[in-house]
Amino acid sequence: MSRYIVRMSPGRGTLSTQASYISWQLRVRMCEVSVSQGFEGAVASHDSQVPLYLDLVSQLNEYLELKRPSLDDLVHFLTVRTLQPWNAERIFISRIDRDGVFRDFSFFGFPIDDAAQWKEVHITDRVPMADAARSATIVVADEDRLTAAYKALVNFHDQWVGRIIVDVPIIKGGVSIGVMGIVFTGKIPSDESFLPFLRSLATCIVFAMDDTRRKVALKRTLGPKNELTDRQKKILEMMAQGLTNAVMASRLGFSESLIRQETVKIYRNLNVNNRQEASAVYEEQQQ
């Protein structure tokens, strides 16, 4: 424990803030231990890629520890830094809600219109991300498997030419709580350590997801508690469902401009910064 306390400056903030900081560093350390254990078999077999994978995980943990990023910033980092050696083109992270629907998508590299289509995906659907979550195993699919095994994706075949999709379950307490989806351009490594490496990244993401929800809860405790109007409550509910401003405007009969204005007010009243945090507040209210 002293290792973590020494690195804190005396003026770092309140006791609760310092406790949160220590807790976060301990979680990062737990992630490092978990990663090392996951690679034990590969190390024993002298896999030459393991040092590279461990170094990349270490860099990710350092980024998490120093920046405590939002999930949007995290997927950006994963795409342009951690997985760039293998030409990662796009990445998303999603949480599975209590109703089995994938929510709170954070993504990098995907067109917004494509991301909007994911909002209705249920864990029972026959798509790669749902298969990964249900089976708690990594699903790898190239363009041929995508069109052969996933009939719902046949119409999107042209988008996957020359690409490989890898969906990694994000597991906490033995249960899938979300999925990290990655699109690679070209082949992925065939060594036995690459998929454990991706699973290790998902292990670290668990702590980032937990931290996001804790920060939202803290902001609600410390921030203003202005009551939302009925219209704002409805917009917040639809926001948590992953609907775009255009869809909300159409369903509610308002202009997109009004939806944007109300969204800004919702953020201010809830003391949050983005849709993801606002959706987390909504989910907490439903519990």
Q: Both 25 and 105 in a single domain?
A: no
Containing 180, the helix (H) or strand (E) segment is strand 175-185
- Least Cα distance to 42 among 57, 25, 63, 26 occurs for 57
Q: Both 168 and 228 in a single domain?
A: no
Q: Both 95 and 141 in a single domain?
A: yes
Q: Both 217 and 145 in a single domain?
A: no
pLDDT at 215: 61
Q: Both 17 and 116 in a single domain?
A: no
Per-residue pLDDT of the chain (287 residues; tens, 9 = 90+): 333 222 333 334 444 444 444 455 555 555 655 555 555 555 445 557 888 888 898 899 888 888 888 888 999 999 999 999 999 999 999 988 888 888 878 889 887 666 666 667 889 998 899 999 999 999 998 887 777 777 666 566 667 778 899 999 999 889 999 999 999 998 899 888 899 899 989 988 888 887 666 665 555 555 555 688 889 999 999 988 888 888 999 999 999 889 988 988 888 888 887 888 888 888 777 76
Q: Both 47 and 149 in a single domain?
A: no
pLDDT at 26: 57
Count of structural domains within the chain: 3
Place of tokens 């170094």: 55
pLDDT at 15: 40
Q: Both 257 and 175 in a single domain?
A: no
CATH number at residue 126: 3.30.450.40
Dihedral angle of Cα 42, 77, 214, 12, to the nearest 10 degrees: 100
pLDDT at 268: 83
pLDDT at 235: 92
Q: Both 182 and 83 in a single domain?
A: yes
Residue 22 within any structural domain of the chain: yes
**SS3 assignment, position 284:** helix
pLDDT at 242: 82
Neighbours of 174 (CB within 10 A): 6
Residue 201 within any structural domain of the chain: no
pLDDT at 31: 61
pLDDT at 146: 77
Q: Which residues contact 166 (CB under 8 A, 6 or more apart)?
A: 138, 139, 140, 141, 181, 182, 184, 188, 198
Place of tokens 């994978």: 53
**Residue 117, burial from CB neighbour count under 10 angstroms (0-12, 13-18, 19+):** exposed
Contact by Cβ (8 Å): 248, 238: yes
pLDDT at 5: 28
Residue 175 within any structural domain of the chain: yes
Distance CA 143, CA 159 (A): 9
Residue 269 within any structural domain of the chain: yes
Residue 194 within any structural domain of the chain: no
Q: Both 178 and 235 in a single domain?
A: no
Which residue range forms the structural domain that includes residue 174? Answer: 71-188
Q: Both 85 and 155 in a single domain?
A: yes
Residue 200 within any structural domain of the chain: no
Residue 280 within any structural domain of the chain: yes
User: Which one of 177, 196, 221 terminates a domain?
Assistant: 221
pLDDT at 71: 86
Q: Which DSSP letter does residue 111 get?
A: -
Q: Both 132 and 102 in a single domain?
A: yes
pLDDT at 2: 30
CATH number at residue 272: 1.10.10.10
Contact by Cβ (8 Å): 248, 278: no
Q: Which residues contact 112 (CB under 8 A, 6 or more apart)?
A: 244
Residue 163 within any structural domain of the chain: yes
Q: Both 133 and 216 in a single domain?
A: no
